[in-house]
Each structure stands twice: as C-alpha cells, then as structure tokens.
A and B are shown apart, each in its own frame.
Chain A
Amino acid sequence: MKYNAYMNNMLIINLNESSYDIVETPLFLIEEYIGGKGFGVKLYQKYIKADTEPLSPENVIMFINGPLTGTLAPSFRSCLITRSPLTGTWLDSYFGGYFGQEIKYAGYDAVIIKGKAAEPTYITINNDNINFHSAVDLKGKKVSETSEMIKNKHGREYKIACIGPAGENLVRYALVSCEHMRQAGRGGAGAVLGSKNLKALAVRGTNLVNVNDKKGFLEAVKKAHQELNKSPAIKSFKEDGTPGSIPYAQDIGMLPTKNYKYGQFKQSENLESKAQINNLWMRNLACSGCPIACGKIGRVFKGKFKGIISDTVEYETLGLIGANLGLSDINHIIKIANLCDELGLDTISTGGSIGFIFEAASKSNLDILQKEGLEFGNAETVIELVKNIASRKDELSNILAEGVKRASKHIPDSQEYSVHIKGLETPAWSPRGAPGMGLALMTADRGGCHQRAFPVSYEMGDDLWRGEKLNRLGVDKKAELVIYLQNKLAALDTLVKCDFGTYGISEESYRMMLNTATGFNLPPDYWQTLGAKIWDETRRINLKHGFERRDDYLPERFVKEPLPDGPASGHYISQADMDKMLDDYYRLRGWDKDGRLDT
C-alpha cells in the first residue's frame, strides 16, 4: 500500500564514507506517526542512543517533512530533529520557506544524515543524483554568501540549507539557515552540522506531490483559506507580522526586560511594528503555499547600517535582543538580528546569553567580566559580542558560546539570574504573571520553549477554557489546558504545520486536508490521541538522557523573585505552585509522580 502525498522514500547519507542509501519510508511510520515530529520521535530512538554525544559523528540529524508539505495546503513547513548540543536531549526545530518542500520535490519524506565528513563538505541532491563536494572554499562564509556561491556554481533552482561560522565553530546555539531568511533556529542544530563537517545541503527536484482525492483536497484547502481570512489573529499577522505582539506582551507584563528581571520595557513602543515599517519593511513575504505572509522584507536605505536586507525582526528577537538587553533603537536591533542570521546564531539564546553576562558583570568581580561596556543598553558591545561568539574569539565569547547553563558554572552565585530550562534559554514570554505559561515552559520537551503550548490567551481571559474564564494567577486547570494544547500542536507538528496557521485553521480542516491528500480515514478525535502518544515518546527520550522531574522546574528568577512591574506585579510562581501543576500534569498524562512512564 502506498499513500498519496508521501514520496515514500527516505535518503540516508553516511558522511563517513561519502555514501548514501535510498530506502522506502516504513509503512508503520506513515500509518501511525504521519510525518514530521511523529517520524522524528521514532527515528530518534532508532538512531540515537542514551550516550550518543551530540557533537560526535554518532549523532544523527534529520530533515523531515510532513505529508502536506509541498502541496497547496496552507501553511506547512519542515523540521530538523537531532540530539541538541545545548540541552543534551531531544531537539525538534522547525523552519518555513522553501527548503523542506524542495526535499519532497527531490523525492524524499526525510533526509537522514549520519557520520562525519573527513573535510568540509557540502552535498547536492538533484532527485536521485547525489554528490559530495569540498566546502573548503565556503569555510567561514556567512550564510548568504554560502548560498550564493553554491547557487552560482550549481544553478539557481537549488534551495540551500547551510550553517554560518557559528555552526562551524560549534557554538551550542548555532542555527541552520534554510533558504532565504528562514531558519531552524533553536537548540544548536547548526553545531551538529558543523561537527559533521557539513556546511550545506543544496536540493532541487522535479517530482510531483500527488494527492488522493483531488476535488476533495481543493475543497478542504478552500475551507482552510476561508478560516484564515476570518481570523482576527491572522489579520494581525498579515499586517504587523509577529512584532504585533510587542504591545500585547508589554500590557500583560510578559516582555522579558534586562535578563528577565522586569516584565515591561519603558521604550517598548520603539520595538513595535511601526518602527520597522518606517525603517525596513518594503513588502510582504510568504513561505511556499502560505496566504498569511507574516514576513515583511525590506532594505535599510539610510544611516550606519545602510544596505542590510532583512526579513521581519521577529517578536522573539525584539524581546531577547531588544528589551532583554535594554536596546531600544530599532536600527541597532535590525543590525544585530542580521548579524545573528548571517553568522548563524539563534537570536533567542544569543539574547539570553548576553543578557545573563550583562547582569553577571554588574554583580561579579570575576576578571573576565571587567571589560568596558558590559552593560544593558550598550549596542556596540552587543554587536562585538555577537561577532566574537560566532568565532569563539576569546575567553568570554567562548563561555557565552556555550549558552547560559554552562556559562553560569563559570560565574559564582549566578544561579539566581541564570535563566534557562533544561539548558534551553527561555523565549520572550516571561511567565511570572501566567503560571500556565510557566508550566508550558517547564514541561516543553525540548526545554524552555513557547511553541509546544501557548496558554497565555486563556490565562488573560481572551479565550475560554471549556466554557470557563480561568483565573490568570491561579494554578487550577492549567495542567489540563497545557496538555490539550501540547497534544494538539504536537499532532499538527506531524503534518508539519506552521504555528500561525493554527490561529485560523480548525482541527477539522487539518483533518480533512490530511485525509483527502493521503487517503487516510482518520476520525475527528484523532489529534489528541496522536499528540498524547508523541508526548509519551519525547518523555521517553528525555528520561533516556537522564532528564527527570528535577529538570521540569522554572529558573530561580521566576520562582523566588516577585515581578517588580506590570499588572501581575508582586507575583511569582512558587515552588508549591510548580509542584501542584506538575503533579496534575503527570497524573493527567498517566505518568507517575516522578514523571516516569513504563514503570
């Protein structure tokens, strides 16, 4: 039996021998795990052992698509799965754009990369014609230069995924740049490619992605488009992109400011979308098959940073590089975001790490911190540090390149302001005034991440949970809400959905698009069942790597230090609150009180 919408093949590359295999996509993966994150949880356990070092040749990195990736269905992406060098556990990192689609057009549901090349290498994949090339000339090149050099040599039809200098230098939060302006940002997948001496993959393909029921599929797509058009949240993404969240986060006191000390930033207006409309944006930019076009691309025409071409400086970057570092000049933030993109650094972890070191410099007498300019609001220092981190230039940048968790070990008494969960720097949703968001961050399978569940709108009363308005600062029912959202999003990450699409597209439309595309006959309640199964699998992976209940807690800043500003001023998420939510969470998931399963 072959299902439509799949390419039914996976490409397995072995860099040790510059060899490859094309194998049939196992039917059980398709039928039981759909694609994307679902394939990922099973393939991860097949290839990666408990003691596989993330930066060793034994680690495996996988580009995985979903069945709807590469079709007209809105809005689908791809993911990268590996063991993270930043956290030491499961990493699923998602990217939009065009690269994942091209892997499908080349004929593959997944590209699985093993081993380590003897010298810097890039790979071209043109349908089933796969070649290994020396990347010696690409060494040290920024991502846009890398991409241009490969396209100039092999043809502009190729779509490129590559790493920058940060990935080559094994910065633990180096990203993978996936074609123009899109990144698999979090968790250090770029360092994994760097450790394998793999600078880039260039892909093109002429295969077709077929669907099972053509008429039914177009009808399901039409309904999803109608739902997107009706959604006020989608309207906001279309007009303002993600920077539209700045005034919201400021109002509710969740905008991380000065290493998460505060929840509001006095100059937050300077970070709102109008700043980028005036200084950067020229037109809307979409990923393949997406009618939302949340991207806003443009060029800087005047001033010191003239000539920079950049997509939206996203909400997360504005939060972590802007408010969290005390920077309020949008031109500086555009420059720093562009540097991070080009050098191949995750802006969230970069902002988290630099914010940590700025606070450390104000509190510690350590020699290494006695450097002029290590202070919030100093853009020139941030620019210098970003460049230094990517090249691991000196002792300080070497410490920063390891991320907050490892950096804090070098600085005595820094635990109280070291902000990460499971080693992943937390995103720009500071949770002290929203315990449900705290639980979502605590339990996120890849570490401190806002994309596994985002209960904030329910906690603020904008959405009702099962017909009821929740108490913002309370902990009751937060676990069941977080589990519902986590299951739904993990299930849709098998497709692989874009987070923003879920603000408009109904669960029923996702099901209809999948059923008509593939020929499945999945029932209406399928997403919760599938999602729960995937969360059990990622929990098994976390347990396998030694992550337990003790790792499911918030950093001290959110637990011991009352929020000093905003509408939730004075609040923090106490140890008792965390324990109550975790007890509920484990019980509702069917795990024991230590968060274990299969016992």
Chain B
Amino acid sequence: MKKIVVNPELCTGCEMCALICSFVNTGGFNPHRACLSINHFQDGVFNSPAFCQQCEDAVCVKVCPTNALKIDKDKGYVSLDTEKCIGCGECEKNCPFDMITIDPDSKKAFKCQLCDGQTYCVDYCPEDALGVYEK
C-alpha cells in the first residue's frame, strides 16, 4: 500500500496541499473540503498535516455496509465507489484517523485516493515536505 507522508519540520502551513486537493476533488477551493487536514500550530509552533493512512486492514472498509470501500492492493490505496456509497456515515464515525468524511454537497463518502497516482498535494508542496511512502 502507498501513503502520503510528511516532514512536519518543513511544513509552513501554507495549505497549498489542501487547496489543490479541494480543487482537484471538488472543483473549487476550500481547505476544509480537502481529503487531508492541516492541524495548525500544534504546540503553538508546528504544523502537522494529516493524510489518509490507506490502511491495509482498514476499519472503513470493514464497517461499510455496501462494500463501497475496498482495499485495492494493485493501486496501493483504499478505493471508494461513490455509486455504491449510500452516505450512511459509518466510515466517518469509525475511521481512527478522522480522514474520511461525508461531503456536504454530494452527501457521499469523501476520501483520499491518491488522485489515482497523481498526488497533486505532493507536487504542489513548495517546501518538498510531502512524499509517497510505499510498503
């Protein structure tokens, strides 16, 4: 599986990862609508963006009543089929990392799918603080 990792010492809190993420995934800009979250100023000084962990033994997959979520080992991430998703919110309630949400417009689950390999957030980080980890 693949996941996006961060070096928090390099993160400036510029939100460009979240801005491009919201743009690619929703069509407009708003960091709150990204499938990553930036925890501003932990300890008053440091940022630490958080990303979907693309868990190999994913809780969201286990709790999904419609099999809309599945572990795609070939692609290296937990994929979401929005056709199957009924927006019940079980995944959102149970994700240990708070990294899957119900989108306020589509009313369906919303999560990082590594932009199908494009990982725009990694490309747009001006400090090179993000990378893709694969194991």
The answer to whether B30 and A291 have CB atoms under 8 Å apart is: no
Q: Which of B18-26, B67-75, B77-85 is the contact stretch?
A: B18-26
Beta-carbon nearest neighbor of A299 in chain B: B45
Q: Are A289 and B40 in contact (CB under 8 A)?
A: no
- CB nearest to B40 among chain A residues: A180
- Cβ contact within 8 Å between A206 and B14: no
What is the 8 Å Cβ interface bit string for chain A, positions 40-75, against chain B (1 contact, 0 not)? 000000000000000000000000000000111000
Interface residues, chain B, with chain A CB atoms under 8 Å away: 9, 12-16, 19-20, 22-23, 26-33, 40-41, 44-46, 104, 124, 126-127
- In the bound complex, what is the Cα–Cα distance between A307 and B45 (angstroms)? 12
Q: Are A210 and B27 in contact (CB under 8 A)?
A: yes
Cβ B14 vs Cβ A289 within 8 A:
yes
The 7 A-B pairs at the shortest CB distance, nearest first, are namely A208-B28, A291-B126, A286-B14, A286-B12, A293-B12, A309-B44, A209-B29
16 contacts between A and B (CB under 8 A): A70-B29, A72-B16, A72-B20, A180-B40, A206-B32, A209-B29, A210-B28, A211-B28, A283-B12, A284-B127, A285-B12, A286-B13, A289-B14, A289-B19, A290-B14, A309-B45
Q: Are A208 and B16 in contact (CB-based, < 8 A)? A: no
Q: CA of A72 to CA of B16 in the docked complex: distance in angstroms?
A: 6
Q: Is the CB of B30 within 8 A of A205?
A: yes
CA distance A225 to B13 in the complex (A): 17
B27–A208 contact, CB under 8 A?
Answer: yes
In the bound complex, residues from chain A placing their C-beta under 8 Å from that of B29 are: 70-72, 208-211
Using Cβ atoms and an 8 Å threshold, which residues of chain B touch A288? Answer: 14-15, 19, 31
A283, B8: Cα distance in complex, Å: 10
**Cβ contacts A283-303/B at 8 Å (1 or 0 each):** 111111111010101110000
Contact B126 A283 (CB under 8 A): no
Q: Check if A283 sits within 8 Å of B9, measured CB to CB.
A: yes
| B41: A residues at CB distance < 8 A | 180
Q: Are B13 and A157 in contact (CB under 8 A)?
A: no
Q: List the A side residues contacting B45 at CB < 8 Å.
A: 282-283, 297-299, 309
Other-chain contact of B30, A207, A282, A309 (Cβ < 8 Å): A207
Q: Is A204's CB within 8 Å of the partner chain B?
A: yes
A260 CB-CB contact with B under 8 Å: no
Q: Name the residue of chain B whose CB is nearest to the CB of A69.
A: B29
Q: Give 1 or 0 for each of A92-115: 1 = CB within 8 Å of chain B CB.
A: 000000100000010000000000
CB distance from A581 to the nearest CB of B (A): 40
Contact indicator B44/A206 (Cβ below 8 Å): no
* Residues of chain B contacted by A225 (CB below 8 angstroms): 126
Contacts of A285 on B, CB cut-off 8 Å?
Answer: 12-13
**Among B23, B46, B127, contact of A293 (Cβ-Cβ < 8 Å):** B127
Closest A residue to B32 by beta carbon equals A206
On whether the beta carbons of B44 and A299 are closer than 8 Å, the reply is yes
Contact indicator A287/B16 (Cβ below 8 Å):
no
6 more A-B residue pairs beyond the given contacts A285-B13, A286-B13, with a C-beta to C-beta distance below 8 A? A72-B29, A206-B33, A207-B28, A210-B28, A289-B14, A298-B45
Chain A 375-398 against B: per-residue CB contact (8 Å), 1 yes, 0 no? 000000000000000000000000
Count residues on chain A whose CB falls below 8 Å from chain B CBs.
Answer: 33
Inter-chain CB contacts under 8 Å: number: 81
Taking the closest CB of chain B, its distance from the CB of A24, in whole angstroms, is 19
In Å, the complex CA distance between A205 and B33 comes to 10
Residues in chain A near residue B23, CB distance under 8 A: 72, 214
Q: Give CA–CA (A93, B44) in the complex, Å.
A: 26
Q: Write out the residue numbers on chain A whose beta carbons fall within 8 Å of the beta carbon of B20.
A: 72
Q: How far is the CA of A298 from the CA of B104 in the complex (A)?
A: 37
Bound complex: CA of A105 vs CA of B9, how far in Å?
28
Nearest CB in chain A: distance from B83 CB, A: 23
Q: How far is the CB of B79 from chain A (nearest CB, A)?
A: 24
If A210-B27, A283-B46, A289-B14 touch, whether A204 touches B32 (CB-CB below 8 Å) is yes
Closest B residue, CB atoms, query A204: B32
Say yes or no: A289 contacts B32, CB within 8 Å.
Answer: no
Tell me the smallest distance from the CB of A160 to a CB of chain B, in Å: 12
Alpha-carbon separation in the docked complex, A358 to B13 (Å): 40
Nearest residue (CB) in B for A517 is B29
Which of B12, B15, B19, B27 touches A284 (beta carbons < 8 Å)? B12
What are the residues of chain B within 8 A of A105 when measuring CB–CB? Answer: 30, 32
A57 to chain B, nearest CB (A): 34
Bound-state CA distance A297–B44 (Å) is 9
Distance A98 CA – B40 CA, assembled complex (angstroms):
11
Task: Kindly state the separation between the CA atoms of A565 and B45 in the bound complex, as whole angstroms.
Answer: 40
A516, chain B: closest CB distance, angstroms: 13
Q: Given known contacts A291-B126, A299-B44, is B32 in contact with A205 (CB within 8 Å)?
A: yes
Residues from chain A with Cβ under 8 Å of B16 in the complex: 72, 289, 291
Kindly state the separation between the CA atoms of A209 and B30 in the bound complex, as whole angstroms: 7
Q: How far is the CB of A415 from chain B (nearest CB, A)?
A: 45
Complex CA distance for A72 and B24, rounded to whole angstroms? 12
CB distance from A152 to the nearest CB of B (A): 14
Give the CA-CA distance A309 to B33 in the complex, in Å.
30
Do residues A208 and B19 form an inter-chain contact, with CB atoms below 8 A?
no
B14 touches A293 (CB 8 A): yes
Instruction: Flag if B126 contacts A72 (CB, 8 Å).
Output: no
Partner of B22 from the list A205, A208, A309 (CB cut-off 8 Å) is A208
Q: Which residues of B contact A293 (CB under 8 A)?
A: 12, 14, 126-127
| Chain B residues with CB below 8 A from A208, complex form | 22, 26-30, 33
CA distance A289 to B22 in the complex (A): 13
Chain B residues with CB under 8 Å of A286's CB are: 12-14
Residues of B contacting A207 with CB < 8 Å?
28, 30
In the docked arrangement, what's the CA distance between A205 and B128, Å?
A: 28
Q: In chain A, residues 287-337, which have Cβ atoms closer than 8 Å to a Cβ of chain B? A: 287-291, 293, 295, 297-299, 309
Residues of B within 8 A of A70 (CB): 29-30
Give bound CA distance, A599 to B40, whole Å. 53
- Of the candidates A204, A209, A299, A309, the one whose C-beta lies within 8 Å of that of B28 is A209
Tell me which residues across on chain A come within 8 A of B22, comparing CB atoms.
Answer: 208
Q: Mark A175-207, 1 if CB is under 8 A from B, else 0.
A: 000001000000000000000000000001111
Whether the pair B32, A291 counts as a contact (CB closer than 8 A) is no
Contact A206 B27 (CB under 8 A): no
CA distance A120 to B32 in the complex (A): 30
Residues in B neighbouring A205, C-beta threshold 8 A:
30, 32
Across-interface contacts of A287 in B (CB, < 8 A): 14
Tell me the minimal C-beta distance from A485 to chain B in angstroms: 27
A214 to B26, CA, bound (A): 12
The distance in angstroms between the C-alpha atoms of A282 and B46, with both chains bound, is: 9
Distance in Å: Cβ of B110 to nearest Cβ of chain A:
12
Cα-based distance from A24 to B104 in the complex (angstroms): 23
* Nearest A residue to B11, CB-CB: A283
